[in-house]
Structure 1
Amino acid sequence: MIYKKFQDLELSALGMGAMRLPIIDGDDSKIDASATQKMVDYAMEQGVNYYDAAWGYHDGNSELVMGEALKKHSREKFYLATKFPGYDLNNMPRVKEIFEKQLEKCQVDYFDFYLFHNVCEMNIDSYLNEEKYGILPYLLEQKKAGRIKHLGFSAHGGYEVIKRFLEAYGEHMEFCQLQLNYVDWEFQNCKKKVELASSYNMPIWVMEPVRGGKLASLPEDAEQKLKALRPEETTVAWAFRFLQSLPQVTVTLSGMSNFEQMKENIATYSEGKPLNENEMKTLLDIADGMLSGKLPCTACRYCTSHCPKGLDIPALLELYNEHSFTGGGFIAPMALSALPEDKKPSACVGCRSCEKVCPQQIKISEAMADFNAKLKG
């Protein structure tokens, strides 16, 4: 197992994410506790020492099952992370209640790592509202009391949201957890997000390294290009090798849902094999090819000055591209939930004024209609 230095700790470069644990009868709330125990035991045996749970994973059962699976191991042998569930605004007044319950569910006296969960457009105002909710002050109290060893945050939000959070709370944050993979390096502006975190000397934890399984297999021509460069490497391993090539990355979390996935990923992390310049270019070219169907908006903003509804068309098109490529998901709906109704895709009146000035000749009105239909469907 590769280890990375974080302050005075040695963390396994591969961490076990507990969002996609093995389940029974396809029911996400019914975790297969026996299979999970087997995976945790094997991970511990192979040197994995970082385990990442959250309040909402598996309908609230992830922390329970992980707490039970880890308790048979010495507390000094693993680092446990969980998060305050601010993705649901109803939780904002409940930080003390939830934190105490999380300790109980996980059967521990302290968390090694604790995060503001999913800082995004929808919740940034509430997270930063200390007068009303006091989330940061409470978490800093727990850190002072030794019940939180290291404080950080995860984010699926856009660059500007992360920037705003860091400007407000950066001095208190020790690490940043981002959705990061070779497709999102440019697609979700992850390169710029990593640079932002680096400007605060903040190490990166990675989530969605294979984009929910989307990078586990590629078009045949793409796989052949990779095989020509590294015949022994699996397609999934390429996604991890990309992350091993980024010096800012400390821990990569993988939500492994069966024992075979775990064995394969641990084998990959038995040694570091970062990409050379040619390999990196080939992989990023493959990512570009996967995104060839996205709308080519350059955010020139000619369109916005001609929209009678005042829509932020470039931002909406960016979300449309994300939603279309992912085939749904929560990122676009989450970001749109922060907008008033008259600024959402449904507010487009189809006048096509924007299209007359679009240098890329994007059929914006059709994209807005399709986006609205996708969101409703």
Structure 2
Amino acid sequence: MIYKDFKDMKLSALGMGAMRLPVIDGDDARIDEAQAAAMTDYAMAHGVNYYDTAWGYHGGNSEIVMGRALAKYPRDSFYLASKFPGYDLSNMDKAEEIFEEQLKKCGVEYFDFYLFHNVCEMNIDAYLDDGKYGVFSYLAKQRERGRIRHLGFSAHGSREVTIRFLDAYGADMEFGQLQLNWLDWSFQDAKGKTALLNERGIPVWVMEPLRGGKLTALSEGDAAKLRALRPAESAAGWAFRFLQSLPEVTVVLSGMSNYEQIRENVRIFESEEPLDKREMEALFEIAEEMVRQSSLPCTGCRYCVSRCPQGLDIPNLLDLYNEHCFTGGGFIAPMALAAVPQEKQPSACVGCRGCETVCPQRIEISAAMADFTARLSA
């Protein structure tokens, strides 16, 4: 197992994420506890020492199952991370109540790592309103008491939102967790977000390294291109080797759903084999084509905005539409739109097509807004 230095600690470069544990009969809330425990045992036996769970994972059961799975091991033999569930605004005034319950669910007296969960457009104002909600003050106090050893954050929001959060709390953030993989390096500006954390001296933790498995399901043509460069490397291996090529990355969290996945991931992280320039370029070419096939070619010129009688931020809405279409749904677009007034939503488009008369890319914007509205309502 590869280990990375963090303060006075040696963290396994591979962390076990507990958001996609094996389940029974396809029910996300019913974790197959025996399988999850076996996977945890394998991880522990092969040097994985970082385990990541959260309040909302698996219908609230992930923390319980991971706590039980790790209970047989000495407390100082693993590092446990959980998060404050700020993705739900109704939790904002419950920091103490939730934190105390999380300790009980996990069966521990402290968390090695604790995060502001999912800093994004929807919750940034609440996270920053410490006078009203006091989330930061409460968590900082728990760190002072030793009940949180290291405090950080995860972010699915834009770079601009992350900047606002760091301007307020950056001096107290010891690590930042980003959706980072070779496809989102450009598609979600993971490159810019990584650079932002690097500029602030904040180590990077990685989530969604395989983008929910999408990067292991390549077309035969794309897979052949990669095999020509590294014949023995799996698709998962390519994704992890990409991350091994980024010096800013400390821990890569992978949500594994079966025993075979934990074995494969552990095998990959037995060695550090970063990609060379040619290999990186091959990945980025594949990423560009994958996005192009399912995305509208908006360049952000903003000519359309001047012709919109509703004053919609059309380039931003098209970016979110592209994300939603490429992912096949998901939470990122709805999450971002939750911070957008109703009169500026895709549904506010009146279909006048004035925007289309000035679009250099000839995008059928009104049709895209109608389709986006339908997808969000489905």
- TM-score category (smaller protein): over 0.9
C-alpha contact (below 8 Å) 1:159/1:193 kept by paired residues: yes
Look up the equivalent residue of 2:318 and give its one-letter code: L
Give the whole-Å Cα distance in 2 for the aligned partners of 1:314 and 1:3: 42
Instruction: Give a deviation string over 1:321-353, Cα, whole Å, max 9, x none.
Output: 000000000100111111111000000001111
Give the whole-Å Cα distance in 1 for the aligned partners of 2:364 and 2:172: 45
The aligned residue for residue 76 of structure 1 is 76
SS of the aligned residue for 1:291 comes to: helix
SS of the aligned residue for 1:146 comes to: coil
Instruction: Give a deviation string over 1:148-203, Cα, whole Å, max 9, x none.
Output: 01000001111111111111111110110011111100000110111111110111
Give the whole-Å Cα distance in 1 for the aligned partners of 2:138 and 2:349: 43
Give the whole-Å Cα distance in 2 for the aligned partners of 1:111 and 1:212: 26
Displacement of 1:209: 0.5
Displacement of 1:356: 1.3
Displacement of 1:357: 1.4
Residue 98 in structure 1 maps to residue 90 in structure 2: no
Displacement of 1:295: 1.0
The aligned residue for residue 349 of structure 2 is 348
C-alpha contact (below 8 Å) 1:217/1:236 kept by paired residues: no
SS of the aligned residue for 1:82 comes to: strand
Give the whole-Å Cα distance in 2 for the aligned partners of 1:63 and 1:8: 26
Look up the equivalent residue of 1:47 and give its one-letter code: G
Give the whole-Å Cα distance in 2 for the aligned partners of 1:174 and 1:102: 21
Displacement of 1:122: 0.5
SS of the aligned residue for 1:117 comes to: strand
The aligned residue for residue 308 of structure 2 is 307
Give the whole-Å Cα distance in 2 for the aligned partners of 1:85 and 1:61: 14
The aligned residue for residue 374 of structure 1 is 375
The aligned residue for residue 218 of structure 1 is 218
Displacement of 1:64: 0.3
SS of the aligned residue for 2:292 comes to: coil
Give the whole-Å Cα distance in 2 for the aligned partners of 1:180 and 1:361: 31
Residue 277 in structure 1 maps to residue 273 in structure 2: no
Displacement of 1:131: 1.0
The aligned residue for residue 257 of structure 1 is 257
Displacement of 1:120: 0.6
* Equivalenced residues, count: 377
The aligned residue for residue 296 of structure 1 is 297
Give the whole-Å Cα distance in 1 for the aligned partners of 2:236 and 2:144: 40
Name whichever of 351-360 and 240-249 sits farther off. 351-360
Give the whole-Å Cα distance in 1 for the aligned partners of 2:224 and 2:103: 48
Look up the equivalent residue of 2:310 and give its one-letter code: K
**Superposed CA RMSD:** 0.7
Instruction: Give a deviation string over 1:252-282, Cα, whole Å, max 9, x none.
Output: 0000000000000000000011000000000
Displacement of 1:354: 1.0
Look up the equivalent residue of 2:203 and give its one-letter code: P
Give the whole-Å Cα distance in 2 for the aligned partners of 1:149 and 1:353: 55
In structure 1, runs of 5+ residues without a counterpart are: none
Look up the equivalent residue of 1:330 and give its one-letter code: F
SS of the aligned residue for 1:96 comes to: helix
